[in-house]
Amino acid sequence: MNNLTSLSGKKILVAVTGSIAAVKAPILVSRLIKAGVEVKCVITPSAARLVSPLSLSTLSRNKCYQDKDQWDYSQTKPLHIALAEWAELIIVAPISATSLSKFTNGNADGLLASILLASQSQIIIAPAMNTSMWENPSVKKNWDYAKTIDQVISLEPSEGLLACDRVGNGKMVNLDIIELACESAFIFNEENKFLTNDLKNIRFLVSAGPTVEDLDAARQLTNRSSGRMGVLIAQAAKLRGAEVDLVHGPISVQADLLEGLNTYPVRSSTEMGAKINDLQPSAQVIVMAAAVSDFKKNSPSEKKISKELFLQSISDDLEMTKDLIKNLTRKKLENQIVLGFAAETGSDNEIIEKGHKKRVLKGCDLLMANPIDRDGQGFDKNFNSGFLLGPKKMIKNFSFSTKLAISHQLLDEIRNLKS
* Residues with catalytic roles: 164
- C-alpha radius of gyration, the chain, whole number: 24
Q: Which amino acid is at 412?
A: D
Half-sphere exposure in the Cβ direction for 177 (13 Å, CA): 27
CA-wise closest residue to 48 among 67, 34, 29: 67
Helix (H, G, I), strand (E, B) or coil at 310: helix
* CA 21, chain centre distance (Å): 21
| C-alpha–C-alpha distance, residues 290 and 379, integer Å | 11
Q: Tell me the C-alpha to C-alpha distance, in Å, between residue 90 and each of 19, 64, 121, 186, 408.
A: 18, 14, 7, 11, 21
| C-alpha–C-alpha distance, residues 15 and 100, integer Å | 12
Residues 6+ apart with CB under 8 A from 375: none
Q: What single string gives the DSSP state of each residue in 53-89?
A: HHHHHHHHTSPEE-GGGTT-TT-SS-HHHHHHHH-SE
| C-alpha–C-alpha distance, residues 20 and 171, integer Å | 10
Half-sphere exposure in the Cβ direction for 275 (13 Å, CA): 21
